[in-house]
Amino acid sequence: MTMVYSDFRSDTVTRPTEKMRKAMAEALVGDDVHGDDPTVNELERLAAETMGKEAALFCPSGTMANAIAVKMWTGPLEEVIVEERAHIYNMESTHMTFLSGVTPRPLRSNRGAMDPADVAAAVRKPNVHTPRTTLVCLENTHNNWGGSVLPLDNFKAIRGIADEHGLKVHLDGARIFNASVASGVPVRDYAREVDSLQFCLSKALSAPVGSVLVAGRERIEFARRLRKALGGGMRQVGVLAAPGLIAMTEMVDRLAEDHVRAKALARGIAGLPGVKIDPESVETDIVIFGFDHPALTVEAMIGKMKEKGILALAIYGGIRMVTHKDVDDEDVERAIRAFREILA
Ligand code: TLP
């Protein structure tokens, strides 16, 4: 018998809804490299409006959107301040050095929120020896801090430091809608504090592909040229923008369910032998916990869970599990049961 898995590896594993598939089949399309795909144009218009920015660019992935953002704000001999666990620094295969030729300057943080004083102290004084600091990157929610939500006040304080030193601020808002649903802060309030942001349609919002980069009109025109240079110019890509529109208009409110399930999962496994988690620290859809067991390594534990039909990922010496549209209460109960049986 083939195993049916409850897949908690990421919120990227979501399948498009029936409505998305229908919209893909029926999408009006044109050639987006010539700027005349009406569905892409509508997605970019909606994204810019939602974020309160002038313009937007549909990109094939969050990684490409972040890479374009770094490239469009920096030049040679420059440095970018990043949080030490940031996705843009740890999980995007060094595009900062490879494509932009800039050095990342990682800073410690409180669950993803860098101390504004540390940011100010990290800005290089102009000097022949050192790179010039020109960009700060934020991430909200913060993936590798277990989906933590950065406080709006932290954005404001870092914006203030950036203005004082003439720096730009880019937000990796892959899961900015999760942050907004959890905090009640409208996405455009976070967006107001940054010069650019990218958000992903293909994570918890369940579209199959794509991210959108938003910023001022002139920068997005340049970003469009950068996307072309990276091979990201796509043709009849309205077929992918169509589910993206549904992601933005119909899939945001349900994120609250994912957050409730993530907390339930954390509560269900807290206190089991080896599991190190404070369920109260789970704010959105990502559950990351330490695992330290005398008889089981993280890899062995993940292997045993897989035998019971539960998929999870190893990360930072611990385990990551993410809730999303395609796992329900039964999947969460099944996961908790599996943990209890294995660790009994
Ligand atoms: N994150 C993926 C993996 O890379 C780990 C995931 O499963 O969570 N920013 C953030 C905060 C992300 O979490 C991700 C993807 C990206 C950017 C990159 O997006 P894609 O995968 O579309 O390039």
Instruction: Write the single-letter amino acid at 134.
Output: T
* Residue 329, CA atoms < 13 Å, CB-side half-sphere: 2
On the 0-12 / 13-18 / 19+ scale of CB atoms within 10 A, 86 is buried
- Per-residue confidence in pLDDT tens, the chain, 344 aa: 789 999 999 999 999 999 999 999 999 999 999 999 999 999 999 999 999 999 999 999 999 999 999 999 999 999 999 999 999 999 999 999 999 999 999 999 999 999 999 999 999 999 999 999 999 999 999 999 999 999 999 999 999 999 999 999 999 999 999 999 999 999 999 999 999 999 999 999 999 999 999 999 999 999 999 999 999 999 999 999 999 999 999 999 999 999 999 999 999 999 999 999 999 999 999 999 999 999 999 999 999 999 999 999 999 889 999 999 999 999 999 999 999 999 98
Atom of ligand 1 nearest to the CA of 141: 11
Q: Measure the CA–CA gap between 289 and 280, rounded to whole angstroms.
A: 12
Which residue, by CA, sits nearest to atom 7 of ligand 1? 10
115-149 burial, b at 16+ Cβ within 10 Å, e below that, comes to ebeebbebbbeeeeeebbbbbbbbbbbbbbbbbbb
Q: What is the pTM of this model?
A: 0.98
Instruction: Please tell me the distance between residue 178's alpha carbon and the centre of ligand 1 in angstroms.
Output: 14
Q: Which domains does the chain have, with CATH numbers?
A: 6-13+254-343 (3.90.1150.10), 18-250 (3.40.640.10)
Q: Is the CB of 172 under 6 A from ligand 1?
A: yes
